[in-house]
Every structure is written in C-alpha cells, then in structure tokens.
C-alpha cells in the first residue's frame, strides 16, 4: 500500500514542477498580479488566426487591453493579423515557433525562431513567454534569460477549447479576483480558421459585469505586482 502511495506522490510532485502555475522548479513564472489592485489581465494563446479580428473588435468595444501569446508559424501565415494585435494597443508574447511541447527538447530553436519573427512583425521583441500547454522543462530558464523573456502562467484557465461559451464564462468567474491572469485562446494550436466562438462568447459575457464593479483590464506587463 505504501509503494503505490509513494509513486503517486512522486508523479504528482513531478506534474506540479512541470505545470504548476506557481512552480519555480524550472524558473519563476508570473501567475497573478497584486491582489490589492482591482485589475485583471486577459491573455490569449495560439494565435493569430482568422478568428482573431472578431476578438479584437470585441475588446475594442469594451475598451479592454489584453496580452496575446503568438505562435511563430501562425504569425508567418497571417502576419497582417498578428500586426493588427499590436496596432490596436495590445501586448504580444512568445508562444514558441510550432507549439510543440518542450519536454521533447528544442527549446532554444522554438523560442529564438519565434522571437526573431515576432520582433520583425511587431517592430519590437516580445518581453513575455508562455510555454505551450504550460509545460516548462530543463533548459528553458536559460533560454528565456538569453532572450530577455519572462515566463507567464495563469491564475485561471478557461478550457475554451472544449467547453461551451457559458461554461467558460462560469469557470472564469469562479477564478476572478484582483490581479487575476486569465488564460484563453484566439487559435487552436496550428489549425487554420479555428472555431473560437466559445472564447468570444465567454469574453462578451464577463467583460460588462466586471467593468460595472470596477475592474480594469490590463496587459500582463501593466499589471501591478505585489512587493
């Protein structure tokens, strides 16, 4: 009985080290802002996609700023859509070149190739990085340091790739609080023309209510962090 429990404990600890939002085993990651400040960071992974402009229009209507972690291959395919994100005043971050899980190796190539393209497309290099699937691994910390990138996780993830818009909204609402970093998606890995209706519906559902009770919507870099 003790051996299975020990094995389960080791597996659980390893999973937390790799993907735990506050784990610093493979280097520190930002996962929330100052809980004393009524601000939230909306973040979107896996873009750009053909569906990104609809999300940008929605954010514009509510005066909300967000951070978009873009995949290099998607930027290569849709440079004008990628550029529109920063043109509208949002922040962009590095989400690797091909969205491969970094436990397979190749972190330097994945990060540097995306970083170079993002810098050319947006005119400035990203300062933030989010690992695909939130999975960090050996060697990533030194790679990020070489490129001047800070790792970002999340306070709450919407699971918008599998849930309905209403379910995503309720999941986010349960995890919202001052300083929260919310993780959503404006793409689906490398899929062309992804269906992100659940994401758009969830964002449309939560923004008015949060604004009405005094929340501001900031980029990750503009969140104030607890000292």
Give the residue numbers annotated as catalytic, written as ranges.
Answer: 45, 185
On the CB side of 41, CA atoms within 13 Å amount to 30
Check residue 111 and report its DSSP letter.
Answer: H
Nearest to 23 by CA among 104, 132, 136: 136
SS3 40: strand
Task: Extract the tokens encoding 19.
Answer: 């993907």
Distance between CA atoms of residues 144 and 52, nearest Å: 26
Q: What is the DSSP string of 173-220?
A: HHH--TTBEEEEESS-TT-SS---HHHHHHHHHHHHHHHHTT-EE--T
Check: CB of residue 150 under 8 Å from CB of residue 126.
Answer: no
Asked if 101 and 132 count as a contact pair (C-beta separation under 8 A), the reply is yes
């Amino acid at each position: 009985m003790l051996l299975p429990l020990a094995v389960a404990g080791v597996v659980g600890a390893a999973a937390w080290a790799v993907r735990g939002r506050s784990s610093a085993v493979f280097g520190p990651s930002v996962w929330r802002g100052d809980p004393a400040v009524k601000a939230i960071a909306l973040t979107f992974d896996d873009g750009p996609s053909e569906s990104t402009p609809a999300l940008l229009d929605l954010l514009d209507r509510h005066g909300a700023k967000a951070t978009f972690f873009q995949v290099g291959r998607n930027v290569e395919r849709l440079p004008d859509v990628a550029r529109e994100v920063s043109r509208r005043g949002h922040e962009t971050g590095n989400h690797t070149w091909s969205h491969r899980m970094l436990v397979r190796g190749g972190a330097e190539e994945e990060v540097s190739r995306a970083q170079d393209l993002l810098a050319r497309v947006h005119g400035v290099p990203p300062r933030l990085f989010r690992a695909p699937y939130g999975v960090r691994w050996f060697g990533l910390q030194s790679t990020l340091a070489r490129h001047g990138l800070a790792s970002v996780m999340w306070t709450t993830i919407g699971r918008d790739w599998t849930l309905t818009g209403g379910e995503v909204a309720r999941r986010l609402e349960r995890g919202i609080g001052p300083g929260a970093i919310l993780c959503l998606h404006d793409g689906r890995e490398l899929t062309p023309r992804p269906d992100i209706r659940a994401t758009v519906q969830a964002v449309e559902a939560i923004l008015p209510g949060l604004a009405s009770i005094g929340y501001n919507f900031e980029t990750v870099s503009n969140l104030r962090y607890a000292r």
